[in-house]
Chain A
Amino acid sequence: MKSLNHAVLQTPPSGIRRFFDVASQMPDAISLGVGEPDFVTPWRIREAGIDAIERGYTTYTSNAGLMELREAVACDLESRYGVSFDPSAEILITVGVSEGLDLALRALVNPGDEVIHFEPGYVSYVPGIRFVGGAPVAVRTSADDGFRIRPEALAAAVTPRTKAILLAYPNNPTGGTLSRDDVAAVVRLAVEHDLYLVTDEIYSRLTYGGEHTCAASVPGARERTVVLNGFSKAYAMTGWRVGYVCAPPPVAESILKLHQYTMLCAPHMSQKAAVEALRHGEAEVRRMVSEYDRRRRFFVRGLNAIGLACHEPLGAFYAFPSIRSTGLSSEEFSTRLLHEARVAVVPGNAFGETGEGHVRCSYATSMPKLEQALDRMARFVQTLSRPGHTTGEERALAAHV
């Protein structure tokens, strides 16, 4: 048989998948490994979806998506971030941000073009860039400065072949956010080197104690930025598969063309439900965000108390504690934690090399479960430091002596 597509063959399967297979065999495990809300879609939104099906909205929609939804999206972005997109030419409804990301990369990248992304970062970015023939260039961020983007590190990664910068904030897996100044620094660099900016802002509404900055709202960004967002996280609508892309007209046209020939449109009933979410879902979003915020404070404090140092995540629903004090690698820690303490987390190296030494814990789970998980993790960490076990630091110390 002839060889399959090289880019696909050379991409390893997701590290998360392997963990899923093991964890699924353990019904008594508490999972902090889930990258989606534990809330079910608010009832009024579900009801709108049911109503759409009952009324027979079971057909294709226009390729760009329902105009009422695009208008609602435009209105939401305008009122929230003061950035205006033309719903008839600059907004496209996609099958989640995942499709939006793929379309954006395909529309922008020619084979050999470099795309800068940040590590640790979401698992799909590197494969996504590779699948379109692009060359991923990682800029590393570190726990030492709260996974901030250092402009000088970003500048150093730019080459004549750089085409775009892929930015995701609030961040999965670190929970890090960017201030308006941080975003502006990236925009300045993009303008200076004539680069496109693709921003994955799916966690924008899950920002705690600060304001999210939509990248396109920063002066200079509008004409070169593709904003990706959707309904999965804010409205707990992961399974509905509906998101959107906002881009300046030439880019939007290419993206629409790709969408037209591949996906055709996002599910009609999901789009109807999304309209309801934007029009009447605000109170539910606030309720969920304030619940995440409480769990966040509780859980992060708990992690630090049991000796897993954790910077304060200001967005999304992830804590990304360091597990270096245990002397274990991310993989070892996660595997043993699952087998010995029945708590599922995701090893940090699944999100790039710089995630090593960390694990991703999702606090999108109920408070009693978080409490139980912390108890189990505390006991596990204690067994590691008992006599007979030595931590990496102790070993290093012993080597010096």
Chain B
Amino acid sequence: MREILQILESDARATPARIAVITGLAEEEVARQIALWEASGVIRRYKTVVDWERYGEDVVEAYIDVSVTPERGAGFDDIAARIYRYPEVRSVALVSGGHDLRVIVRGDDIKEVARFVAEKLATLERVTSTNTHFLLRRYKEDGDVFGEADPDHRLMVAP
């Protein structure tokens, strides 16, 4: 059953029929299991990995290390929620190390991202510092290598 999730994680468009063939499970069983997972939230949604740069669109992304003062009773949850509710925020995670939250923000240009950090993020009450790293080039994301695939060096026919 776990294999179904692995297959969908790498190809969201794999149909129950296809999954059934490659796993040896019955198609109805696969469909029923997927529906159950969709209902229970194990499968949150289906998405596509887009290489926007290749499409010809420049997207600016920044990784921002945020230090915050945790709130008594709520810890980091409350401040994290205050940050992730902004639509320009793609990801928020509590991390170990020198900072507390690792935030990923996306915008149309550097100015837009910089403005968000300066005006929204840095000014939040319990945020004590931000350290912004603009993404210069994406090499690999979610297991997918961006750029050209390795060529197949094998001979056409071999014993």
Contact = CB atoms under 8 A, between A and B. Distances in A.
Nearest to A37: B154
Contacts of B154: 31, 34, 36, 38
A124 B24 contact: no
A122 B159 contact: yes
A333 to B, nearest CB: 15
A19 B158 CA distance: 9
Interface string B139-159: 000000000001010111111
Nearest to A209: B24
A42 to B, nearest CB: 13
B50 interface: no
B36 interface: no
B22 A34 contact: no
B95 interface: no
A44 interface: no
Contact of B155 (A24, A124, A301): A24
Given A38-B152, A40-B150, A290-B3, A298 B22 contact: yes
B159 A123 contact: yes
Interface residues of A, number: 27
Interface string B1-28: 0010001000000000010011110000
Contacts, number: 54
A14 B157 CA distance: 11
Interface string A319-361: 0000000000000000000000000101000000000000000
A34 B157 contact: yes
A344 B23 contact: no
Contacts of A130: none
Most chain A beta carbons < 10 A, residue from B7, B21, B22, B156: B156
Given A122-B159, A294-B23, 16 more contacts: A16-B159, A19-B157, A20-B155, A20-B157, A26-B156, A33-B158, A34-B154, A34-B155, A34-B157, A35-B159, A38-B152, A38-B154, A294-B22, A297-B24, A301-B21, A344-B157
Interface of A: 14, 16, 19-20, 23-24, 26, 29, 31, 33-36, 38, 40, 122-124, 172, 290, 294-295, 297-298, 301, 344, 346
| 9 A-B pairs closest in CB distance | A33-B157, A294-B22, A20-B157, A23-B156, A31-B156, A35-B158, A19-B157, A298-B22, A123-B159
